Amino acid sequence: MATTTAGAFVSATVNGYTVKTSPTTATMANATDKCVSATIVPSTDSIENKKLLMGMDIQVVPDVASASLEIQASHNGTDWVTVSVLDASVAASTGVTSYLADLSGVYAPNFRLAYNDATVVSSVGTDFTTKFFFAWV
């Protein structure tokens, strides 16, 4: 399984909240690939030990509705572990899917959002594309 990584997050301020959104990902090279956000670095984006809004904006619908969306953490930016499952079965439709992410008590030098990286990998197809986002005060 290969990994498709979204580009760097772009920052905006909306009603006093910091909102970061990735550009649309490239299409998947293989139908069972995982799709991840760029690395979120807590020294820049203060998301540790917080509850925040996270999610994805699906641009092209995946072939299945059973792929997961997770928050992962890493000590080195290479080896990742899931710290929260936002949705074990993301709906196969276009548009925004938002979740309340609870990172209370979670600390790490690197975080990312990962789609289709669960124990059971789904065949999302090669046309699938998305944007990732997160927002906090």
Task: State pLDDT tens for residues 16-30.
Answer: 999 999 999 999 899
Question: How many residues are present in the chain?
Answer: 137
The CATH number that applies at residue 112 is 2.60.120
Predicted confidence (pLDDT) at residue 92 exceeds the cutoff of 90: no
Predicted confidence at residue 120, as pLDDT, reads 83
Could you tell me which of 110, 107, 109, 90 has the C-alpha nearest to residue 98?
A: 90
Q: How far apart are CA 23 and CA 37, in angstroms?
A: 10
> Mapping DSSP to helix (H, G, I), strand (E, B) and coil, where does residue 33 land?
coil
Burial group, residue 14, by CB count within 10 angstroms (0-12, 13-18, 19+): exposed
Q: Which residues form the domain of 127? A: 3-136
Joined tokens for residue 124? 């999302």
- How many domains are there within the chain? 1
pLDDT above 90 (res 38): yes
Q: For 25-49, what is the mean pLDDT? A: 94
The residue with tokens 């905006």 is 12
